[in-house]
Amino acid sequence: MEKIRRASHAGSWYTDNPQKLEEELDGWLRACGLAKSSDVRGVIAPHAGYSYSGRAAAFAFGNIDPANISRVFLLGPSHHYYTPKCALSRATVYKTPIGDLPIDMEVIEELKATGKFESMDLHVDEAEHSMEMHLPYLAKVFRGYEVKVVPILVGALSAENEAMYGQLLAKYVDDPKNFFSVSSDFCHWGSRFRYTYYDKTHGEIYKSIEALDKMGMDIIETGDPDAFKQYLLETDNTICGRHPISVFLHMSKNCSTKIKIKFVRYEQSSQCKNMRDSSVSYASAAATKVDG
């Protein structure tokens, strides 16, 4: 029985016109001018409306060489639905305006059998944008290739659960046919986000935000989930995909493949100059297999 997850944010967060969407994605991918690499095993990419973060996201998805990949694990944070666990999709197909992505039911069943996951209802799945915003890029990059997706909604996990899911999923990193798409925006700054941390030594507010984000990005690049946890405790930085990123860091730490994360792009939706302003930061990274 086919169970379809509609592209519920098409027409609002990004265009539902297939031709226009193709042109936009093409333009951004071309503009970032990245060479595809078969060593790139994962990305961290933003998930805001495409008019805000579409360009930044291209710097993640532009690294992907689709040739030998047959499965994409999609890890996104939960914005509306509270769960202390990770949840699996009940859908069998994820639709996008430019092509549909089938769900890997075999892996979903395998993960279900661990007893560690819950299943999310279709309405929870369709209300969530964090994974959907990666789908058009994935549909574009993997066009013409047989690829399936494994969507995992990452809830408000404790540090222990982040480590547990990281260990559980680590074995999938060792299969070179698997790819990982980790969804996160970075600092949400401003009174509407209830976060107005400002270190004046950096100059303007937006410079302080950049320094704060860059510190977090540097720590993520070390691959150390405990250091990242510590950074979040100390700064309270409003990185909405902190749990998916943490799970991915634990996966990288527990697998036998050596993975190096490198950020390649950083942008802000606007430059905050006073306390009435607000902005969201977008950062894109590639997770590459390294020898040794």
User: How many CB atoms sit inside 10 A of residue 280's CB?
Assistant: 22
> How sure is the predictor about 291, in pLDDT bands with cuts at 50, 70 and 90?
confident
> For the segment 224-245, what is each residue's pLDDT rounded down to a tens digit?
999 999 999 999 999 999 999 9
State the CATH class of domain 4-289: alpha beta
Question: What mean pLDDT comes out for the span 61-90?
Answer: 96
Distance (Å) of CA 133 to CA 56, 60, 84, 204, 249: 12, 13, 23, 31, 22
pTM of the model: 0.96
Model pLDDT, residue 192: 93
CB contact set of 118 (below 8 Å; sequence gap of 6+): 83, 85, 86, 87, 88
Strand partners, 45: 183
Task: Return the domain boundaries, the chain.
Answer: 4-289
> For the segment 18-69, what is each residue's pLDDT rounded down to a tens digit?
999 999 999 999 999 998 999 999 999 999 999 999 999 999 999 999 999 9
